[in-house]
Amino acid sequence: MQVRKEIEQITAFLKEQIGEKTPVLGISGGIDSALTLMLLKEAFPDRKIKAFFMPDSTTPESDYEDVKALQEASGVDIETIRIESVVKVFRELLGIKSKEALGNIKSRTRMIILYYQSNISEGMVVGTTNRSEYIVGYYTKYGDGGCDVEPIIHLLKREVKEMASALNVPKNIISKKPSAGLWESQTDESELGMTYDELDDVIVEMFDRKQTQEDSRFSRVKELYSFSEHKRRMPVSMLK
């Protein structure tokens, strides 16, 4: 990947898609949202970007520190909106026991907040899903998958890291173990059953080179891709 050329193409894409509207972005403390913020900064004045950090009771303290570092590095003000009171209402109202189900509630709560912010600022919600996650469906439908424009969905996780480094995302954010922070001690790679490097290798072989192998990694990606197919298409209907 020619990083500078790719940055210029994404910047042009963001300018074209968002235009005079306000870019609205959720910040997690992770590399994908950090990179997306830096890309928005390439395309728009700092004051025009609306960025929101939406922690809850299981958000690790290190995420607060990383968001502060990102704010300093980007020059963009990141507003904090705590969501635990809303999540608590849903948990008690629905009697939620599953941590996975509650994790989806958290993700969709954040989506609602971003769209409210978009409504009042005549904005567009900017997504942060990368290609590695998109292929295996590692995002919440109508949660972090709910947005108006996806600027990095064509980038593998390794390409996200490369571009983040080029745009001076804080080093700790780049090197930290990826986690959605939806429950304590949760990590992306433990849920995926492989490292992102392994996942990226399989995606390149399977989807770009149209090759396959009979091993556990390829079987796992095939399984995840098939199971998450509904996330990558519009709702099915009989509309003609």
Asked whether residue 222 is assigned to any structural domain, the reply reads: no
pLDDT of amino acid 197: 96
Distance (Å, rounded) from C-alpha 25 to C-alpha 182? 18
* pLDDT over threshold 90, residue 187: no
pLDDT of amino acid 1: 86
* Mean of pLDDT values over 98-114: 96
Residue in this structure with the two tokens 């390409």, named with its chain if needed: 159
Give me the CATH number covering residue 158.
3.40.50.620
Do 78 and 24 meet the contact criterion of CB atoms below 8 Å apart?
no
Closest by CA position to 187, among listed 126, 103, 109: 103
What confidence category does residue 184 fall into, taking pLDDT thresholds of 50, 70 and 90?
A: confident
Asked whether residue 205 is assigned to any structural domain, the reply reads: no
Query: ∠ CA 37-115-99 to the nearest 5 degrees?
Result: 85
Asked whether residue 213 is assigned to any structural domain, the reply reads: no
Asked whether residue 235 is assigned to any structural domain, the reply reads: no
What confidence category does residue 216 fall into, taking pLDDT thresholds of 50, 70 and 90?
A: very high
pLDDT of amino acid 103: 93
Closest by CA position to 130, among listed 159, 99, 100: 159
What confidence category does residue 142 fall into, taking pLDDT thresholds of 50, 70 and 90?
A: very high
Asked whether residue 103 is assigned to any structural domain, the reply reads: yes
Distance (Å, rounded) from C-alpha 95 to C-alpha 97? 6
Asked whether residue 192 is assigned to any structural domain, the reply reads: no
Question: pLDDT > 90: what percent of the chain?
Answer: 91
* pLDDT over threshold 90, residue 123: yes
Asked whether residue 224 is assigned to any structural domain, the reply reads: no
User: For 38-94, what is each residue's pLDDT tens digit?
Assistant: 999 999 999 999 999 999 999 999 999 999 999 999 999 999 999 999 999 999 999
Residue 84 domain boundaries: 3-186
Asked whether residue 197 is assigned to any structural domain, the reply reads: no
User: For 151-168, what is each residue's pLDDT tens digit?
Assistant: 999 999 999 999 999 999
Total domains in the fold of the chain: 1
Chain-wide mean pLDDT for the chain? 95
Query: Roughly how many angstroms between the first and final C-alpha of the chain, as a whole number?
Result: 41
Distance (Å, rounded) from C-alpha 232 to C-alpha 240? 20
Closest by CA position to 166, among listed 3, 34, 14: 3
User: For 3-38, what is each residue's pLDDT tens digit?
Assistant: 999 999 999 999 999 999 999 999 999 999 999 999
* pLDDT over threshold 80, residue 179: no
